[in-house]
Structure 1
Amino acid sequence: MDSLHALDEPSLEDAGTFFFAVTILSLAVLGTTLCVAITPIMLLKSLNAKKEPRYAGSKEEISGQQSKGNYENPQVLELKMEIEETRKQVDLLLQKASNNNNQQEETAYASEES
C-alpha cells in the first residue's frame, strides 16, 4: 500500500524533470518553427534579388541597354569616361615632353656642330 501512496504524491525532482523536459521540447519546437518559416522567405528574397537589376535608371533605359548588351552601372560608365579623358591628357603631356626633349637634343647637336 505504501508504494501506491508514493506514486500519488509528485516529488520536487519529478516536477523539475518535467519542467526541464517541457522547456527543452519547447525550445526545439520554436527553433524548428523559425527555421522552417525563415528559410523559404530568405530563399525567395534571394531569388527575387537576382532577378531585379540594382542599377539606377528607368526601366526603359535598362531594358534598352540590356537588349543592346550594353548594360552597365551609370557610375561605372562615368568613371570609364573620366579615365579615358585622363589617359588622353597624359598622352598629350607625354607627346609634349617628347617634343621638348627632341628640340633640346636638336639644339644641343646644332651647337656642337657650330
Structure 2
Amino acid sequence: IGPRQARRWFATGEHFDAETALRIGLVHQLIEPERIDEAVQRQLGLLDKAGPVASASAKELVRRVSVGRDRDALDRDNAALIARLRVSAEGQEGLGAFLDKRAPHWVTQD
C-alpha cells in the first residue's frame, strides 16, 4: 500500500471496507462471495502457466527496481536477466511449447 498509506492506517488503527482496500492497493480485486472458488481457480491457472524460474526472477526484479536508484544499472541488469532466461532450459521449453502450441512441462494437466 506504500509508506504514505501505511503510516495512516498503522497510526490510526482505523477499520476500512473492501472498497477502500481496493482503492489503496491492499487488494487487487473484489469478488462476490459466491464466485470465490471460480476466481481462485482462474488465478491458480494463470500462476501455473508461468515458468518457476521466470516467476521467481520477476519477483526479484520487482524488489530490485523498487529499491534501485541507478536506472542505467537496472536496465543493464534487466537486459542480462532476460538474455539468461531466454537461453535457459526453462526459457527454451517455454519458447518451444509456444511454437509447438502445447503447454510447457511445468503446467499441470487436469
TM-score, length-scaled by structure 1: 0.22
Structure with the bigger percentage of helix: 1
**Greater relative CO (CA pairs within 8 A, separation 6+):** 2
Larger Rg: 1
